[in-house]
Amino acid sequence: MAVMSEFLDRGYNVAVPEVDIGDDIFVVRDRSGEYRRIQVKTSYAKPTGKGTSARYSLRRDRLVTPTAPETWYVFVRRLEDQWLDHILITREQLHAYHRASDMGSLSKKGFVILYIKSEAELTICSGVDLSAHVNDWSDWPRVPH
């Protein structure tokens, strides 16, 4: 709901599939009809000594499979009673990090496990700097109405 609210606030429309087909929500730019698939991943962040750590489990088959339109992941973190900054990243970029930088570990059941850690302004996962993706709404400019 938090992610949907953010997209709505930016002027996009949001659709939720009636049947679970793998994508959590579709975000639609009404004027052009352009839509994108969004996978929302939510985790309760745990405080560490210097920041927070959140664990996510992604289906590997969805991570490695190209889609049209491209799929976006939005990583949501809840720390006690507040939301931390969202992390927005395309499936393609996440797959590239996974393949090229060994980001995440593969579970026996075919899931990619990510631990996203934030300390001050730095957000990393398996040594990959994800800071540029934190609150990166640059691909979702506000739509004037």
Helix-strand-coil split of the chain, %, nearest 5 = 20, 45, 40
By CB atoms closer than 10 A (0-12, 13-18, 19+), residue 112 is: buried
Q: Which is nearer to another protein, 99 or 142 (by Cβ)?
A: 99
How far from the centroid of its chain's Cα atoms is residue 89's Cα? 6
Interaction site with another protein (CB under 8 A): 61, 64-68, 70, 92, 95-96, 98-100
Least distance to another protein from the beta carbon of 128, Å?
A: 13
CB of 93 to another protein, least distance (A): 9
Q: Distance between CA atoms of 127 and 115, rounded to whole angstroms?
A: 10
Find the shortest distance in angstroms from Cβ 47 to another protein. Answer: 33
Q: Which is nearer to another protein, 103 or 134 (CB)?
A: 103
As measured in angstroms, the least distance from the Cβ of 61 to another protein is 4
82 three-state secondary structure? strand
Q: Which is nearer to another protein, 92 or 136 (CB)?
A: 92
Nearest to 76 by CA among 15, 25, 110: 25
Nearer to another protein, 77 or 91 (CB): 91
